[in-house]
Amino acid sequence: MLFKYLSFLHDNYHNMEQEAGVRRRRLFGSQVAQFFFPQRHCLICGKISEETGPCGVCAGELADLHHCEICAAFVAAPGICANCAHNRPLFGQARAAAPYGGSLRDSLLGFKYQEKTWLRRPLAALLAWAYEQHYQDMAFSAVVPIPLAALRYKERGYNQSEMVSGLLAAEFGLNHSPNLLVRVEDTPPLASYDGAQRRLLLKGAFAAQAAAGQTVLLIDDIYTSGATFNTCSEVLLAAGAKAVYGLTIAAYDNRGEKKEDRS
């Protein structure tokens, strides 16, 4: 009886090992496929697409959306959002490719927190599409990613904003300057803080190299309250920059927000 029981355990364990091996091989195969053959579906709707940015349908819908005249927020009608009306930003303008949500949200979270760095190319393609929509005629002297806090960089191993900004700069022949702006103080994750609290937490967190006369394009993954862009703009302008603009992959959709500061 004991022999039969031990034999059952052995066979069951062997089967479990085989199944686990199959799962590991499938996962490895999926990762290899993703590395050599990056996804070819629209990051906005998730449908199969041969476009490098948003699919044709999503591109048309995104082009019809309204930005705040100053910041990257998506608003219900043309004009200045409540946040910019109350706290006029120091940057000249900020824009985003798409509202934050759905398939794009999943891609950004995977890229940022789950080491899905192969997503840098499709996300950079979406950023490039937004650049063509909003800044094609601008003459930027430096493309600058928002620097990551030292502790967070050590934990993550990469700066997602620097990855996509480098690809964007290469695509349009722009000067990529990741060292023009540095993070000199760590801050806690800002997701749970409102705009005013973020501004206080970020005060003194950044420093800039000499930027005399430069027109700077700041790059980040997500635009929320604008506190990060505004703080970085203040530092760059103090270092001599002529003007600062911003571009992100996504921005929170504020078309239904009440007239108050965004979180």
Q: What is the CATH number of the domain that holds 94?
A: 3.40.50.2020
DSSP state of 126: H
Q: Which of 1-10, 49-58, 150-159, 160-169: highest mean pLDDT?
A: 160-169
Round the average pLDDT of the chain to a whole number and report it.
83
Nearest one of 163, 122, 137, 121 to 245, comparing CA atoms: 137
pTM over 0.85: no
pLDDT digits 0-9 by tens, 115-158 = 999 999 999 999 999 999 999 999 999 999 999 988 888 889 99
User: Do 127 and 244 fall into the same domain?
Assistant: yes
User: Do 17 and 109 fall into the same domain?
Assistant: no
Domain extent for 25: 1-37
Per the domain annotation, does 140 fall within a domain?
yes
User: Do 129 and 207 fall into the same domain?
Assistant: yes
Question: What domain count does the chain have?
Answer: 2
CA–CA gap between residue 142 and residue 136 (Å, rounded) = 14
User: Do 88 and 215 fall into the same domain?
Assistant: yes
CA–CA gap between residue 169 and residue 154 (Å, rounded) = 25
User: Do 29 and 70 fall into the same domain?
Assistant: no
CA–CA gap between residue 109 and residue 46 (Å, rounded) = 15
Share of the chain above pLDDT 90, in %: 63
Per the domain annotation, does 256 fall within a domain?
no
pLDDT digits 0-9 by tens, 44-61 = 999 998 888 999 999 999
Per the domain annotation, does 89 fall within a domain?
yes
Per the domain annotation, does 257 fall within a domain?
no
User: Do 16 and 71 fall into the same domain?
Assistant: no
Per the domain annotation, does 238 fall within a domain?
yes
CA–CA gap between residue 126 and residue 110 (Å, rounded) = 16
